[in-house]
Amino acid sequence: MADEKKFDVRGFGASFKGFLDQMAQQAPTEEPELLRRAREHFGADPAALPVVTEQFERHEHPNVHLAIEAYLAIEGRSAELVGVSAAHEMFAAKLAQLFRPPSAMMGAAATTVGPVEYNNVTLGDGRVLACVSSGLYFVRAADRRLAVLVTAPRERPFGSGPTVQVMAADRAQAEAVLAELRNTMRKQSVYRGKILSLEATRDGMEVKFHHLPQIERDQIILPEGILDRIERQTVRFSELKVELQRMGRHLKRGVLLYGPPGTGKTLTAMYLAARMRERTILLLTGRTLGLIEQSCAMARLLQPATVILEDVDLVAEERTRQNMGCNAVLFELLNQMDGLADDADILFMLTTNRPDILEPALASRPGRIDQAIEVPVPDAACRSRLFDLYGRGLSLELGDRDRLVSRTQGVSAAFIRELMRRGPGRRQGERQAHRRRAPRVDRRGGRADAQPARRACAVVGIESGTSGLGPFRIVSGGASSFAAAA
């Protein structure tokens, strides 16, 4: 309306400034406890000191915690750990905010001393490590004074991990502290020397520990000379790495094990993993084959390391056979194998049932695959040894071993193992059936249907006439036994 007064912007601004000045005058004059402690600790105003921040991956939380403990364990260093209670838990606390004077605006003085918070993290050996997830360290290291704030989001949104902030007299001191923490994390990682696999989750990347069964050398039954060749390219290289480096030879290498399914490629890889205990093992199989980049990055960090890719033909099929856009994983694998430095002690061990469809740039190029070794179906000598191996714990009655070995020509080691595994279960079922057929007793105490019970027997494996193996029979007796029918 015409007579309505026009809004005075300057007048409103002046009034609002006066309001703020009055609120500031009414703010508490007592210095916050965290600011007071920081002044006493540094002997100066912490508001003028630099802060260097570094964020780590979520799976590195236990390594961050142990690295800080190792840093403080050095003689001449000590620390006081206090908790921090923030007004808004959804936002991580910052050192610059903790050590600033109080303000009447928005309740900004509400960050106070609180309880130290911890997260429990399960390690590969079953231990549970309580890691600081919210805590402030006032560190004394000789004549230096530091403040180290560790925060880890409770809900872990978007894959965020722990954050370490370091305040020091100058930026170089803070950067040196973080560099020492990173070096300790690499050397004393909880993942070093373990058998690991990576898994992508909605919160980021998760590291899983694996415990493989102990495989002895006599359990690897291959034709003569093959296991020696595999060990020469893997175990022997690891044992001679110092001499190889002295001679200027590179340590990175690749081995491809190929052959029909069930011949022992995976079992051989498990044996080598147990044999080279000083190496970190990264397993890639199935869906995890898409995490080649992350797995190779962890292998570089934790070397000496071995990267085992099972069924590599799933991602390394010859490019002419692939559809457009389906070879991104193959390119990533080639890039990772080429991108390693010559002194990187990383072994790539690949297995496949289909060597004929592999990309030649992977399988046929030295420097990526240094040795391709066939793991064939077992020969006669190996099949005889396999019957002995998988018959351990049973009493074997092989009436005609030579004929049995001959009839199993062309089968895999996994087939023989399954054949020997199914016997005890079938025999147990026959025992239970025999008990159910026990003679009945009539009311007068006499026997009815007192026919002698048949000798219990069961045919296991594949029936004769289907495979030509001849039946295996489990005969009744005190100890489990097999009888091969001639």
Q: Where are the domains of the chain?
A: 25-187, 209-374, 380-441+452-484
Q: What pLDDT does residue 60 have?
A: 92
- The pLDDT assigned to 293 comes to 85
Q: What is the pLDDT of residue 326?
A: 52
Q: Is the dihedral of CA 418, 235, 212, 218 positive or negative?
A: positive
Q: Give the CATH fold of the 209-374 domain.
A: Rossmann fold (3.40.50)
Residue 255 has pLDDT above 70, yes or no: yes
Calculate mean pLDDT across residues 451-459. Answer: 33
pLDDT at 29: 60
Confidence class for position 321, pLDDT limits 50, 70, 90: low
Residue 193: closest CA among 124, 242, 254: 124
Structural contact between residues 172 and 163, judged by C-beta atoms closer than 8 angstroms: no
Checking if the pLDDT of 375 tops 90, the result is yes
pLDDT of residue 474: 37
Please report which confidence band the pLDDT of residue 356 belongs to, taking 50, 70 and 90 as the band edges.
Answer: confident
pLDDT for 463: 35
Give the integer Cα–Cα distance in Å for 422 and 137.
61
pLDDT at 302: 92
pLDDT digits (tens, 9 = 90+) for 437-452: 555 544 444 444 434 3
Which of 240-244, 427-431, 440-444 has the lowest average pLDDT? 440-444
Higher-scoring residue by pLDDT: 44, 27: 44
Per-residue pLDDT tens for 68-122? 999 999 999 999 999 887 655 545 678 877 887 765 444 444 577 889 999 999 8
Query: What pLDDT was estimated at residue 484?
Result: 38
Per the CB < 8 A criterion, the answer to whether 349 and 270 are in contact is no
Under the banding of pLDDT at 50, 70 and 90, the label for residue 7 is low
Confidence at residue 261, expressed as pLDDT on a 0 to 100 scale: 92
**pLDDT band at residue 19 using 50, 70 and 90 as cut-offs:** confident
Confidence of residue 433 (pLDDT cuts 50, 70, 90): low
Estimate to the nearest angstrom the gap between the alpha carbon of 382 and the chain centroid.
Answer: 34
Query: What is the pLDDT, as a whole number, of residue 468?
Result: 43
Mean pLDDT score of the chain: 78
**Whole-Å CA distances, 142 to 72, 77, 104, 160, 310:** 12, 7, 38, 34, 52
What is the pLDDT at residue 482?
35
Q: What fold is seen in the domain 380-441+452-484?
A: Helicase, Ruva Protein; domain 3 (1.10.8)
Residues contacting residue 232 through CB under 8 Å, at least 6 positions apart: none
- What is the predicted pLDDT for the residue at 398? 64
pLDDT (0 to 100) of residue 286: 78
pLDDT value for 180: 95
Could you tell me which residue, 73 or 34, shows the higher pLDDT?
Answer: 73
Most trustworthy range by pLDDT among 25-34, 263-272, 350-359 = 263-272
- pTM to 2 decimal places: 0.75
pLDDT band at 231 (very low <50, low <70, confident <90, very high): very high
Q: Which residue(s) pair with 167 in the sheet? A: 51, 147
pLDDT at 229 over 50: yes
